Amino acid sequence: MPEQSQDEQSLAEINKSLYREGMTDGLPVIPPTEERVEEMLLGTDKSPDHVVGRLGNNENALTVERLAANAVMAGCLPTYMPVLEAGVRALADPDSNSIQFSVSTGSWAYQWIVNGPVREMLGIETGSGAFGPSFHANQTIARALGMAYRNTAKIYPGEKDMGVMGNPAKFSMLAGENEEASPWEPYHVTHGYDEDDSTISLAGPNSWVQWLPSENTGEHVLRGMIENTPSSMRASSGEDLNVTITHAINPYNAEELEKENLSKQEIKEYIVENSYYKTNEYTRTFGDEEKVPPRQVQQYADTDAVKVTTIGGPGRVNAIFGSSIGGPVTKKIEFPDNWESLLEEYSIEENWVPTEGFYD
Amino acid sequence: MGLVTPGSDTDDVEQRPLVPRVDTLAGKTIGLYDNGKPAAEPLLTAVQEKLEARYPDATFSWYHVEHLNQIKNDDEQDAVVEWAEGVDTAIGAIGDCGSCTKFLAWGVELIEDAGTPGVGLIDEGFELDYQSNAIERGRPLRYKKTPVRCETTDLERVREEVSEDVMDGIEDELTRPLNDKERAEPVAQ
């Protein structure tokens, strides 16, 4: 990259230059000046040339410094670096299958779920609108990880990233689990971590469906989880391709399921046992001329193919993410020694609510 | 103050020469490399049928990747190389989606690693994808665009679409002598 001076070049010119080189997501970015990158590196104890992960065809190295440059561009705070480092380790884990889902015609998105104390420390939203715009950490962390993948693996739409439609959620699908409102063990505990650990989990779905049960009862919620999942969202866990779906249940509906004393595992079993899709085409396979084709077949091969998490705010709307052809993989977030002082120095308060003072 | 590049350093990928082509397919053992996509087998089946008609003394050897993703595994890669060492030339299919085009390039690259000239068959919409993956892997791998639209598995339809012109093109890629760029000694990209 040519030497560019902050004084010599305007914000617009630097943005134009970075865009021309394919380094952005198309939106304006904050120029990754040496000064800003140095400040971002306050969020890590690792040396700038430490390789966090290797990505893409040739396992290109993503160093701490390059990750910090992407974090600057995305608008992250230095305190987000530990989450970003763990996210890169998830992307680099072969089980994430990011090498495939990042370039596939299916336009798969990077889906991130954050668990543990880090959610409160960084203001990662878990409640109303958690997957939507507005929340600084949710949006900038997902954006930084998406750009870091693209800039490291060197994939571009229509070149190596062959997503037919593209995906508006590709670089923005991140939420914290609403552990406090969940009746079940947190998502990361289900996947082998301690409750006090902070983690980030990656999956690769290309679609999501939002739905609500016709009645606010556990049985209707369970039925709705099945009936609102498109038959195209099929899943089976496996060594070479782990295909999963994730049910994000809102706290109200999770409460109804709790009243039925249903564990996460029992919910998954119910879904697997009761989910089928119709085989509408009359097809015979060679050698099976005497057999009548089945009218319906099982939608999920096993309970490992179904994931459950509690996310969102008040209301009855739930979401189904799928099918994911990557992960899920979960990585522990490790904090630098100066973590407490960093948190004090870098924080963004939300002062959005206009009723303050009226109802005291 | 300068900028810190957010991209990785990848400008030093050396481009290695392609393996010299065979002069004719007559009497040769032709490898058919199925990369695990459902459309690969019918396409290669149609190609084999037409090559058999042209070269009755040619023999064929198939390699099937059971699932597309398995080409990422070292064991699978070793097996592809071992198989490719036993054929005179090889045709790979199919590049008709983002990941399968990538992994087809990986497969053809392994065939070339084995010292066997290879050609990938791709949907025409995935030409740039194949090229960029090939260059990134370190060889300007050859390919032939086919009119068979991606994910087509109807063998009868594939037979019709793999015309004699298409076969001429495949044969040309398998036998046309290397040009200067393809023969070149390793150079930085």
> Tell me, what's the pLDDT at A237?
82
What residues in chain B have per-residue pLDDT under 50? 189
Cα–Cα distances in angstroms (integers) from residue B142 to residues A41, A71, A287, B108, B130, in the given order? 44, 39, 38, 9, 9
* Of the partner residues B3, B69, B137, the one whose CB lies closest to the CB of residue A31: B3
> Tell me, what's the pLDDT at A348?
87
Note whether B1 contacts A35, CB cutoff 8 Å: yes
Within 8 A of A163 by CB-CB distance, chain B residues are 98
Interface test with B, best of A103, A243, A281 (most B CBs within 10 A): A103
At a CB cut-off of 8 Å and minimum separation 6, what does A44 contact? Answer: A64, A68, A81, A82, A85, A336
Assess contact for A96 and A149: CB atoms under 8 A. no
Within 8 A of B126 by CB-CB distance, chain A residues are 162
Regarding whether A163 and A43 lie in a shared domain, the answer is yes
> Tell me, what's the pLDDT at A210?
98
> Tell me, what's the pLDDT at B84?
98
In a domain, A288, yes or no: yes
Tokens representing A34?
A: 């040496």
> Tell me, what's the pLDDT at A357?
79
**Cα–Cα distance between A170 and A205 in angstroms, integer?**
9
Q: Find the residue in A nearest to B68 (Cα).
A: A240
Q: At what angle do helices A64-74 and A81-92 cross, to 10 degrees?
A: 120
Regarding whether A216 and A150 lie in a shared domain, the answer is no
Q: Following CA atoms A122, A124, A127, A131 in sequence, which dihedral angle do they give, to the nearest 10 degrees? A: 160
In a domain, A349, yes or no: no
Regarding whether A249 and A162 lie in a shared domain, the answer is no
> Tell me, what's the pLDDT at A349?
85
pLDDT in tens, A98-122: 999 999 999 999 999 999 999 999 9
- Report how many domains make up chain A: 2
Within 8 A of B72 by CB-CB distance, chain A residues are 94, 99
Assign A86 to helix, strand or coil.
Answer: helix
Assess contact for A202 and A297: CB atoms under 8 A. no
Instruction: Tell me the backbone φ, ψ of residue A223, rounded to 5 degrees.
Output: -60, -40
Range(s) of the domain holding residue A147: 11-179
> Tell me, what's the pLDDT at B83?
98
Return the CATH superfamily for domain B20-178. Answer: Glycerate kinase; domain 1 (3.40.50.10350)
Q: Find the residue in B nearest to A162 (Cα).
A: B98
What residues in chain A have per-residue pLDDT under 50? 286
pTM of the model: 0.92
> Tell me, what's the pLDDT at A113?
98
Cα–Cα distances in angstroms (integers) from residue A97 to residues A150, A197, A239, A328, in the given order? 15, 24, 11, 9
Number of H helices, E strands in chain A: 12, 12
Instruction: Note the maximum CA span of chain A.
Output: 79
